[in-house]
Amino acid sequence: MNDENCGAIRYPWKFASAKRAPGRDRRGTARPDCYWWRYRLRANAGATLERLLQLGERAHFIRGNGDREVVAAFDGQPFAPAMSDEGRAITHWVARQLTSTQRDFLAALPEQIEMQVEGLGEVNFCHATIRNDEEIFTPLTPQARLETIFSEARHDTIVCGHTHIQFELKLGNLRILNAGSVGMPYAEQPGAYWLLLDSQGYKFQYTPYDGETAALEVRASGYPQAQAFADENILKIPTATEAMTIFERMAEERWSRDE
């Protein structure tokens, strides 16, 4: 990647409806030469996946917990007992939007990808952490817990997602970057949040889009909870602080349960 810049993009399901290339920022940010997708399927699932695949070899995909759960639903496999009824309904609905070819694509995705990136060194791209695809951590996570989570990291940089919040953490010589979220961010204002990697390092990016149009298309999609999602995750969104408070409570409960 000596001459490339790379966009790390999380939850990109809106691009099928927004009709905008994810690398085009209205403030003039250049289109990345390659994309790393932390893909999660929601409204417009099949169409979005097909649109992303049109990028060809420029796009690299990794699997997250949402993809794993959708494949399980497609195959008629049971969900984890802790999944809510709402989560089960959504996951079943998404699975019904996919073709068998799309299911096979998701099932074959790697959990992690490693690559040498000029300016950042050896970079690991994963969904949540290098240990599993649903582990939770945020900038509020205690240092001792972070050291446990990343005790086996052998990379210069880890790029992750899962919590939908853009942030950077330093743990010794390890840099941890959360790319944020395009389709379901937690931030100060609605829009698409993503990460640009290049020879100069990294830049957290923000791209505005037409929220009213996106909300209309989500409401018309048949997606379960479409009205609530449009109102609470497109036209308005939770702040990063609100989300981190909830995530840390969830993480504490899981750590206490696993001890």
Asked which of 14-23, 100-109, 129-138, 168-177 is least confident by mean pLDDT, the reply is: 14-23
Q: CA-CA distance, 159 to 164, in Å (whole number)? A: 12
Average pLDDT, stretch 15-30? 44
Is 180 within the bounds of a domain? yes
Q: What is the CATH number of the domain that holds 169?
A: 3.60.21.10
The whole-number pLDDT of residue 206 equals 95
- Band of residue 183 on the pLDDT scale cut at 50, 70, 90: confident
The whole-number pLDDT of residue 13 equals 43
Rg (CA), the chain: 18
The count of structural domains within the chain is 1
pLDDT at 22 over 80: no
Higher pLDDT, 58 or 78: 78
Q: CA-CA distance, 196 to 31, in Å (whole number)? A: 10
The whole-number pLDDT of residue 14 equals 39
Is 210 within the bounds of a domain? yes
Cβ(112)–Cβ(125) below 8 Å: yes
Is 132 within the bounds of a domain? yes
Instruction: For the chain, give the longest Cα–Cα distance.
Output: 49
- Band of residue 248 on the pLDDT scale cut at 50, 70, 90: very high
Is 1 within the bounds of a domain? no
pTM to 2 decimal places: 0.87
Let me know if 177 is exposed, middle or buried by CB neighbors in 10 A (0-12, 13-18, 19+): buried
Name every residue whose Cβ is closer than 8 Å to that of residue 18 and which is 6 or more positions away in sequence: 209, 210, 213, 214
Let me know if 55 is exposed, middle or buried by CB neighbors in 10 A (0-12, 13-18, 19+): middle
- Band of residue 44 on the pLDDT scale cut at 50, 70, 90: confident
DSSP string, 100-165: HHHHHHHHT--SEEEEEETTTEEEEEESS-SS-SS----TTS-HHHHHHHTTT--SSEEEE-SS--
Residue 65 in tokens? 């917990």
Domain that includes residue 246, residue range? 6-258
Higher pLDDT, 39 or 20: 39
Work out the percent of the chain whose per-residue pLDDT is above 90: 68
Mean of per-residue pLDDT scores for the chain: 86
In sign, the C-alpha dihedral spanning 229, 232, 234, 235 is: positive
* pLDDT tens profile 111-148: 999 988 888 889 999 999 999 999 999 999 999 999 99
